[in-house]
Amino acid sequence: MGEYCFVIGEESEIEGYVEDIAEKLGEDHVEIYDPEKEKSFKEFSRDFNTVVGLGDIKDEYGNDLKRMAGEKLVITEQEISNVPSLDYEEEIVDTIYEKISKVDEVYKANELMEKVDDYDTLGVVLHDSPDPDAISSGLALQYLAEEKDTEVNIMYSGSINHQENKALINRLDLDLRKVEVEKTEKDGSTVYNTITEEGDISLNEFDGVAMLDTTFTNSKIMSAYPEQEVDIVIDHHEGWENVEERLRGFKDIRTDRGAVASIMADYFKTLDIEPDEKVATSMAHGILTDTLDFDPNSRDFSTRDIENLSYLYEFIDRSSLEDIRKTTISLSTADILARAINNREKKGTNIYSYLGEVEDTDAIPQATDYLKKLEGVTTSITYGLVDDRIRLSARNSDIKLNIGKELERVFENGRSYGDFSCSAGGSSRKGGATIPLEAMGMIGEAIKDGSDLDQYESAIQSTIETMLNKIGSS
């Protein structure tokens, strides 16, 4: 099913550009209505988010076009007539594309607000040990939800250790709920309890559940609710395939974005709601952190992320943002960075490092960035043991290598892991993987039986390293 349905006016000059526009929008997302072949337009268009009418509305068919596309969107030839000349094909395609993608954002933003309006209370789950992007996106949703009198509770599990996160929370006095996930065996099956400092909490007590900046695999809270369906998902990560049955409402995944905070900024802009200083400052910090200050060697981001940052700058408190960003490295992070250096293994221009048990998960990507800076390194990978899983992060600047795809190949397709699924992926420049210990055969068995983890560390390390040695070998 396509997302966009195109209706093209008779003898329209725009027709010549349709193919290029469709390619830009992603051909899977576009279908063109053919009045000769198809069922009635009304029936045909029902399945689409966006109906785009393209053509000349001055001619007789123009009225039909308007009627057919209804309220949704009609782009007329007159509207693009200010494009200098029809020779500027690319410019015409871009103009039309921009109009179409913006209208989609209007729908998305309105759809989100309608969805939020359905609930009196909304539980918002962030990824474990949330980073500034996750935290600020939670705040942004909370702020937007106030418009609908919906109460938002922002929850996370793991810890907030990263120096910049602590500064963000303290300086802006943010209110997040830390949730401990306790695993117990009862009558042969696993039971999870989710507990906060104020007592037990259950996702079921909220009218709606949202996930921000996290997939199912990166949230311990969600793993405690394997049956839980989710009402609102906003994310920029891969990994949303094969979970459709758990999503029952609003879904906005934009993998070309550097930060979820940037998607949230789109909503503010589109809905014409101004963020307050606290929300805007956190969001700016979220975008800057997730894009590593727009470092083209490290992260993927789009020009929209930059536009959104400058939009947020109108509302931020500059001195707070400065304070948050110039905080020093915490001792626990420094310790992880030291381990990354000490345990490094160099294979050609690749560098790997096992970080041991890691509590401060934010330190893992920081360690990867750090190793990447070493002379002669094109690809850096660090991994650490976080509770019962290995968390791995990768950075790459070797243009011959797509590290996200390689991790996916090595850890997902190459698994012999029974029922336990690893998640792995990313882009050409950065990637990550989560590998449950249970997936690691003998090691998993032994650890489940309660054996001391220490004696398996070298086995874990060599297992992962064997996998990593396959990178770039296909």
Which chain residues interact with Mn ion by CB under 5 A? 133, 213, 290
State the minimum distance, in angstroms, from the CB of residue 470 to Mn ion: 28
Which residues lie below 8 Å from residue 82, measured CB to CB, with a gap of 6+?
A: none
**Closer by beta carbon to Mn ion, 133 or else 408:** 133
Q: How far is the CB of 442 from Mn ion (least distance, A)?
A: 35
* 3-class DSSP assignment, residue 368: helix
What is the per-residue DSSP string for 386-413? ETTEEEEEEEE--TT--HHHHHIIIIII
Name the minimum Å distance from CB 324 to Mn ion.
17
Q: Which residue is nearest to Mn ion (CB)?
A: 133
For the chain, the C-alpha Rg in angstroms (whole number) is 24
Ordered DSSP codes for 204-261: GGSSEEEEES--GGG-HHHHT-TT--EEEEEE-SS--TT-GGGEEEEEEE-TT-S-HH
**What's the token pair of residue 263?**
């998607």
Query: Which residue's CB is nearer to Mn ion, number 128 or number 213?
Result: 213
Shortest Cβ distance from residue 253 to Mn ion (Å)?
Answer: 12
Distance CA 462, CA 456 (A): 10
- Angstrom distance (rounded) from CA 37 to CA 57: 23
Q: How far is the CB of 213 from Mn ion (least distance, A)?
A: 4
Of the pair 105, 133, the CB lying nearest Mn ion is at 133
**59 and 33 in contact (C-beta within 8 Å)?**
no
**Least distance to Mn ion from the beta carbon of 290, Å?**
5
Residue 366 in contact with residue 290, Cβ under 8 Å? no
Torsion of CA 275, 277, 279, 281, to 10 degrees: 120
**Shortest distance, position 233 Cβ to Mn ion, whole Å:** 13
**How many CA atoms does the CB half-sphere of 390 hold within 13 Å?**
35
Indicate the residue among 53 and 365 with the shorter CB distance to Mn ion: 365
Identify which of residues 150 and 215 has a Cβ nearer to Mn ion in the complex: 215
How wide is the angle at C-alpha 400 spanned by C-alphas 396 and 404, nearest 5°? 45
The Cα–Cα gap between 275 and 267 comes to 10
Q: Please identify, using beta-carbon distances, which residue of 287 and 336 lies nearer to Mn ion.
A: 287
Q: Which of 348, 150, 111 is nearest to 233 (CA)?
A: 111
Comparing CB distances to Mn ion, the nearer of 2 and 138 is 138
Angle, CA of 293, 336 and 328, to the nearest 5°: 50
Closest approach of Mn ion to the CB of residue 122, in Å: 20
Q: Residues 179, 185, 189, 190: what is their CA dihedral angle, to the nearest 10 degrees?
A: 20
Q: Is 360 helix (H, G, I), strand (E, B) or coil?
A: coil
Identity of the residue, 104 or 133, whose beta carbon is nearer to Mn ion in the bound complex: 133
133 or 406, CB closer to Mn ion? 133
Report, in Å, the least distance between residue 133 CB and Mn ion: 4
**Smallest gap, in angstroms, from Cβ of residue 130 to Mn ion?**
9
Spatial separation of the C-alpha atoms in residues 456 and 409, rounded to whole Å: 25
Nearer to Mn ion, 213 or 266 (CB): 213
Supply the minimum distance, in Å, between the C-beta of residue 296 and Mn ion.
18
Question: Is residue 154 within 8 Å of 124, Cβ to Cβ?
Answer: yes
Instruction: Between 86 and 306, name the residue whose CB sits nearer to Mn ion.
Output: 306
Handedness of CA 200, 203, 207, 213 (dihedral sign): positive
- For Cα atoms 404, 165, 234, give the angle at the middle one, nearest 5 degrees: 50
